[in-house]
Amino acid sequence: MLTLAAAGASWWYVRPGPEIDCNRLPPLTVLATLAAFLMAIIFRQMARHTARSHLWSLAVCLVIAAATLFTDFRYVRRYRNICDSLQQQLQPLKRQ
């Protein structure tokens, strides 16, 4: 359930828009960290449960969490430099 919530929140922040919103990057970083944490929990649960039905549902959750982590990382990596350069250009304007 948490995996689906993290994936849904990630989709909400990554959805395409008319402009680049640099305020989306910090929440996506947190969601990527949450996805990595959920992956660790899922691996731990896979070691405990041996029933096929449990393993399949955990495998699906693992794939969703991995896709969330990968998508968030790519989005943040792509727009981090653009947002940093915009922020540096606005620094001199704020001092005046």
- In which domain, by residue range, is 50 found? 2-13+23-95
Residue 18 placed within a domain: no
pTM of the predicted protein model: 0.80
CA distance to 23, 62, 69, 81, 95, per residue, from 27 (Å): 8, 21, 12, 17, 27
Residue-wise pLDDT tens digits, 20-73:
788 888 888 999 999 999 999 999 999 998 888 889 999 999 999 999 999 999
Asked if residue 66 lies in contact with residue 1, where contact means CB atoms within 8 angstroms, the answer is no
Domain count, the chain: 1
Tell me, yes or no, whether 78 lies in a domain. Answer: yes
Task: Provide CB contacts within 8 A for 24, sequence distance 6+.
Answer: 13, 14, 75
